[in-house]
A and B are shown apart, each in its own frame.
Chain A
Amino acid sequence: MSVNPSEAASLLRSVREPGAFARLARGNLELWVNLVVITWAVVFAIWQGTGFAITLGTVFAIWAILAVSLNLVVGFTGLLSVGHIGFFGIGAYTVAILTSNAQYEQLRTEAIPTFGWPFFAALPVGIVLAGLTAIAVGTVFNRFRDDIFVLVSFGFTVICFNVFLNSRGLTRGAFGIHEIAKPEIGGWSFGSEVAFLILALVFLAIVVLISWFIVSSSFGRVLTAIREDERATEVFGYQVTHYKLAVWVISAMMAAAAGGLFASWTTFIDPNSFILLESILLVSIVILGGLATIWGSILGTMVFVLLEEGMRFLPFLPDEYVGQARQVILGVLLVLLMLFRPQGLLGRYKL
């Protein structure tokens, strides 16, 4: 986390002591970033009304799970992966296939088998499946690092997309899967938007806790050492391939959980949600927020979601340009950020 005990203490002091806050805030960019983003989020929520805020909140929670989990791999371990969206897709498709009850006889595609499982039975299957895939893929990827790793993880994303698109007997390809079940457990249903938001935030909290548990342990310290110098870490007695594989698998499983939530939330998925661009946006969020800081990834996601959705309301833009303009502005923003603050909003580290 970016807030260390001494900072927290000085924050507390500033609450009690008038004037201390001004001293704390002066030149403390991280504090300003936090204040601005959170204020912005609150103002936006009030301005646009609760319904929209709940939708945005859910998008935020799902993307934050992805960003936090990817930061374990990219920020802490130094493996620049653009393959994360593949695991997200595995989770999403597993939940979609196992829970959907839709019948498709009217369309000229192969009928996909229907299982009609409840969400909470399908999600663990998706997570485990992503974990197993990560073990297989990671064992091979362990040989690569740096730019070559980017390339092979790119390959993974492309393969996943094509499997989703072409295994029509299972995924219905470009037609996508409808009627994905909402989570239900016992008498509880998460069918309403608010309930789903709470569920997504609970998942985010779990992912943050696990990530924090990992990075604050000796294991986490070894990950940062691997990021800095893999060979030297090895000479000090660590089997770095095991460490890299472990964090890769954990991160993939978290991404799959986010995928399952996403599928259930939208109730319809097709392969277009799992393209390379999404993966690259995800890496951008992680870099935007700051490498190797969990809170940075959460804040980065907040900024991204607010920008992406906030630009919908830019008054001077004709509707037909809004979609493209958002991506252009995001791109320009990233270039500016890399120019003036390469360590991201909250990070201390560079790639």
Chain B
Amino acid sequence: MSTPTGDGERFALETIEVAKHFGGVHAVDGLSVAIPRGKITCVVGPNGSGKSTLINLLSGMLPLDDGIVVVDGVRLRVVRPHETPGLGITRTFQDVRLFDQISVWDNIMVVLTERRLLPALLERGKSGQRERTEQILRSVGMWEKRRSLAMDLSYGQRKLLEIGRAMALNVNTYLFDEPFAGLFPQMLERVKGLMRQLRSEGRTILFISHNMDIVRELSDHLIVMDSGKLLTEGDAEEVLAQPEVIEAYLGV
């Protein structure tokens, strides 16, 4: 089990004694994990074990009750959502959160355009942004659908578009909250391909999944959570070989 070191070279993201509770429920309870750079890390655990809360804390969607998040070796007590792209982090949501009533095209464009107010007013879609949007839409197979509203897509397409939207943001760390849930086999392969592609570009991925076949196939590093606490963490193959993990989660 690795201990948090604040080592930005090896770890893209770390948490030190991070805690979040809702009322009396300790969703995340003094969790310390380290997410190795350039690898695919999977978080597994039963429902309600705090996996999504962990991603929400790392992306600033929920404020930390306690503990520190270390991004690229920089210690943060507060993670503000609008600062996460600057920290090199982006995410997808478990309950696909696209911008429903705007076009597929604009869903991608909007993450590429100017952040500052006044320049944004004067900007009308630069050619670089358009090219990048086309490239992303083609890579997730949504180019023909670019004029549709995001709400008119099928569930699988929405899931893919959301991953595309995250990928449009050229960052180091991607947090995918259940990217495989409810997907067709074809779509599954596509998402796997996208994740492998990101890894081959040297980026770090953290994802949540309940599908043990995919976990086994994709992940380099595994974090096992239970009741907001870390059960075990380490190299995927080693962790999957541990008897207590097999017993608890693989349902042998």
Q: Residues on A close to B: CB < 8 A?
A: 213-214, 216-219, 221-222, 224-225, 227-229, 231-240, 242-243, 246, 348-350
Contacts and interface: CB of A to CB of B under 8 A. Distances in A.
A235 B83 CA distance: 8
Nearest to B102: A224
A219 B81 contact: no
A224 B106 contact: yes
A238 B82 contact: yes
A21 to B, nearest CB: 24
A238 B115 contact: yes
Contacts of B86: 237
B143 interface: no
B122 A217 contact: yes
A348 B151 CA distance: 12
B194 to A, nearest CB: 18
B82 A216 contact: no
A232 B125 contact: no
Interface residues on B, range: 35 or more
Given A218-B125, A225-B102, A236-B165, 12 more contacts: A221-B113, A222-B110, A224-B99, A224-B106, A225-B106, A228-B102, A235-B59, A235-B91, A236-B111, A237-B83, A239-B115, A240-B82
Nearest to A226: B99
Interface string B147-173: 001000000000000000100010000
A221 B109 contact: yes
B248 interface: no
Contacts of A224: 99, 101-102, 106
A231 B91 CA distance: 12
B106 A237 contact: no
Given A235-B59, A237-B115, A243-B117, A350 B101 contact: yes
Most chain B C-beta atoms within 10 Å of own C-beta, residue among A216, A228, A235, A237: A235
A169 to B, nearest CB: 38
B123 interface: yes
Contact of B117 (A213, A219, A229, A236): A219
A231 B61 contact: yes
A231 B97 CA distance: 10
Contact of B97 (A218, A219, A232): A232
Contacts of A225: 99, 102, 106, 110
A236 B111 CA distance: 6
Contacts of A240: 82
B60 interface: yes
Given A225-B99, A236-B90, A219 B60 contact: no
B139 interface: no
B121 interface: yes
B81 A235 contact: yes
Given A234-B81, A235-B81, A236-B110, A219 B99 contact: no
A224 to B, nearest CB: 5
> 9 smallest A-B Cβ distances: which pairs?
A218-B113, A228-B99, A237-B85, A219-B120, A218-B123, A234-B81, A219-B121, A218-B120, A236-B111
B124 A216 contact: yes
A235 B90 contact: yes
A230 to B, nearest CB: 10
A329 to B, nearest CB: 30
Contacts of B83: 237
Given A228-B99, A228-B100, A237 B121 contact: no
B97 A229 contact: yes
